[in-house]
Amino acid sequence: METFQELVELGKQCFENKDYGRAERYLRQVLTHNKGYADVHNMLGVICHIEGKFESAMDCFKEALKLNPHYTEAVLNLAVLYNDLGKYQEAKKLYGNLQKKKGNSSHDIEPVLKGKLSNMHADVGDTYRSVGLYKHAVEEYKKALELNSSYVDIRTKLGVALREAGNIAGAIKEFKQVIKEDSRYQMARIQLGVAYYSSGDLKEAKKEWEAVLKQDPENESAKIYLRLCGK
């Protein structure tokens, strides 16, 4: 049987590995012994948010902040949740309080916090996309890119979500933007080829997949997709 500290470490490890089911089991066992761990409440809040248990997630984040009012990550997680629930004033207030605590007179969120917040939105978008809620996924990826427009992996995910939602033109636009920013990001070219193929433009699809193989002759995805074009 695991010791208390082992439960804490196992919960954190599973959480970091995105094994949320096991993480939740360990973390809830921790709380049966000691409810005073702000980071445990925060991690459970993230898990509840991903599972769509918004009220429970809110309670967890608030409990984390009750235990540690200066817990930046919990503030950000609660702000993301408020945004997703349309509670924009509450989210704005949290951002404002965070800036005051940091003594920053600028209205901009500092880069490190922007990065964390952007990735949080992207993670929520991944969850929505995995269950076919493409409209919600698109919204989350756009929120992420509003904070960090240079994240090519998130823009590629946005393109995929748009394509799966039936907006082929929008998807192509996003994939082209990624390639413009980083011509060697192969995933964007592969997905651009898929978008072209979906629209019936086999010539352009083949062109993109061949470009991938020119950079990486062993790319299995490009090889497989080229067979669709008769190669």
User: Based on the structure, what is the number of domains in the chain?
Assistant: 2
The predicted-structure confidence for 217-228, as pLDDT tens digits, reads as follows 988 888 888 887
**Contact criterion met (CB below 8 Å) for 230 and 210:** no
User: Are 89 and 123 in the same domain?
Assistant: no
Distance spanning both ends of the chain, measured CA to CA: 57
Query: What domain range includes position 82?
Result: 4-101
Hey, what amino acid is at 208? Answer: E
Q: Quick one: 134 and 156 in the same domain?
A: yes
Q: Which DSSP string do the residues of 103-116 spell out, in sequence order?
A: T--SSSPPHHHHHH
- Whether residue 29 lies inside any domain: the answer is yes
Distance CA 221, CA 190 (A): 8
Q: How far is CA 148 from CA 63, 99, 154, 218, 231, in A?
A: 29, 18, 9, 32, 38
44 lies in some domain: yes
Q: Domain ends where: 49, 72, 101?
A: 101
What does the pLDDT average to over 49-58? 92
128 and 215 fall within a common domain: yes
State the number of CA atoms in the 13 A half-sphere of 195 facing the CB: 28
107 domain residue, yes or no: no
pTM (two decimals): 0.57
Is residue 15 over pLDDT 80? yes
Q: Which of 79-83, 112-116, 178-182 has the lowest mean pLDDT?
A: 112-116
Residue 106 lies in a domain: no
In terms of domains, do 123 and 171 share one?
Answer: yes
- What average pLDDT does range 68-76 have in this prediction? 80
CATH number at residue 185: 1.25.40.10
Res. 107 pLDDT band, cuts 50 70 90 = very low
pLDDT recorded at residue 1? 52
HSE-CB for 169 with a 13 A CA cutoff? 0
Which of 101, 126, 155 represents a domain boundary (last residue)?
101
Q: What is the pLDDT of residue 106?
A: 35
Residue 153 pLDDT level (bands cut at 50, 70, 90): very high
For residue 220, give the DSSP letter.
H
Residue 100: predicted pLDDT:
60
pLDDT at 16 over 80: yes
